[in-house]
């Protein structure tokens, strides 16, 4: 049985970040509406993300096995990659193939909220690396856990 159409912002949302301290607070009030999970999708994730002024999408990172795509809906953000910075606006799309070590991040340096759709594959053995911070995600007994770059757990 199919589920009825619903307003995206009526679905459960997560705010902030699951990063360990001191990284979590850098995300600010970032809000993710888990669109895919609400409809039982298991092969890929789809989120509506709202970044308020000063918020960040994530720490600058890259994934070993996860493809990511971002489609800007509203507002203006700064995309930070290995190549530097680029302004992205409504209608722009950016994508990051799995295994590409070009770390990426979106930052709201403006005075208004910005909204985008975030789509990514779900791969159980995906790892993430954070070139600007002392953080990595590694698998421990099948669970992705945050560790320092020297392997010491947070």
Tell me if 136 is assigned to some domain.
yes
pLDDT above 90 for 126:
no
Tell me if 55 is assigned to some domain.
yes
Alpha helices (runs of H) in the chain, residue ranges in sequence order: 35-38
Nearest to 30 by CA among 49, 11, 12, 47: 49
The CATH number of whichever domain residue 76 belongs to comes to 2.60.120.10
Tell me if 1 is assigned to some domain.
no
Given a contact cutoff of 8 angstroms between Cβ atoms, the answer to whether 24 and 16 are in contact is: yes
C-alpha count within 13 angstroms, C-beta hemisphere, residue 95: 7
Tell me if 135 is assigned to some domain.
yes
Alpha helices (runs of H) in 16-149, residue ranges in sequence order: 35-38
pLDDT above 80 for 3:
no
pLDDT above 90 for 89:
yes
| Length of the chain as a residue count | 154
Tell me if 152 is assigned to some domain.
no
Residue 56 belongs to domain spanning:
8-147
Buried/exposed code over 120-154 (b: 16+ C-beta within 10 A; e: otherwise): beeeeebebbbeebebbbeeeeeeeebbeeeeeee
What are residue 138's phi and psi, to 5 degrees? -125, 160
Q: What is the DSSP letter of 17?
A: -
Tell me if 25 is assigned to some domain.
yes
Higher per-residue pLDDT: 122 or 75: 75
How many domains in the chain?
1
Tell me if 116 is assigned to some domain.
yes
What is the reported pTM? 0.91
Q: pLDDT band at residue 1, thresholds of 50, 70 and 90?
A: low
């Amino acid at each position: 049985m199919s589920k009825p159409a619903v307003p995206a912002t009526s679905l459960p949302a997560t705010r902030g970040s699951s990063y360990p301290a001191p990284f979590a607070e850098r995300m600010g009030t970032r809000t993710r509406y888990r669109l895919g999970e609400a409809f039982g999708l298991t092969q890929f994730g789809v989120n509506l993300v709202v970044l308020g002024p000063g918020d960040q999408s994530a720490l600058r990172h890259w994934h070993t096995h996860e493809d990511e795509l971002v489609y800007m809906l509203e507002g203006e953000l700064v995309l930070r990659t290995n190549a530097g910075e680029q302004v992205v606006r409504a209608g722009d799309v950016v994508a990051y193939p799995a295994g590409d070590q070009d770390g990426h991040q979106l930052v709201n340096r403006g005075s208004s909220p910005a909204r985008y759709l975030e789509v990514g594959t779900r791969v159980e053995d995906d790892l993430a690396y954070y070139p600007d911070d002392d953080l990595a995600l590694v698998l421990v007994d099948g669970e992705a856990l945050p560790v320092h770059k020297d392997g010491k757990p947070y």
